[in-house]
Amino acid sequence: MTVNRFEAPIACSLNAAGQTARRAAWERLGQRALRERQMTAHGVQLVFARKPGVQDELRELARLEEECCAFAEWRVEDHGDRVVLDVRAETAGGVSALQAMFEEPLSAGPTPGP
């Protein structure tokens, strides 16, 4: 089922245990490969070092996030020696939710504003 990001509620459909497990997965990936975190006008951009398995793991996390946080667009792009996750929302509330999700350290990277 396709969800219109403009109409999706700004909420996560995971329960508390699911949110804890997902955050742990993001933390593990961040510890392993995160190089930069940038808060943007539309959400967040995370830059990861290209290491074995990082791109696949990042694509899977982005796919899972699209299921539970349908209000946002999760895009993974290959940039040679790095893999970039660009997460965007169409509303101010969605942008704030994304930035709050990634404002705490994933173990690396600066967090400057837009």
Q: What angle do CA 64, 67, 72 make, to 5 degrees?
A: 100
Can you say whether residue 4 is alpha, beta or left, with left for phi > 0 and alpha for psi between -120 and 50 degrees? beta
Domain boundaries, the chain: 34-103
Alpha-carbon gap, residue 110 to 3, rounded angstroms: 32
Give pLDDT tens digits for 9-46: 566 777 788 788 888 999 999 999 999 999 999 999 99
pTM: 0.81
One-letter amino acid of 49: A
Tokens of 4: 């219109």
Q: What is the pLDDT of residue 77?
A: 95
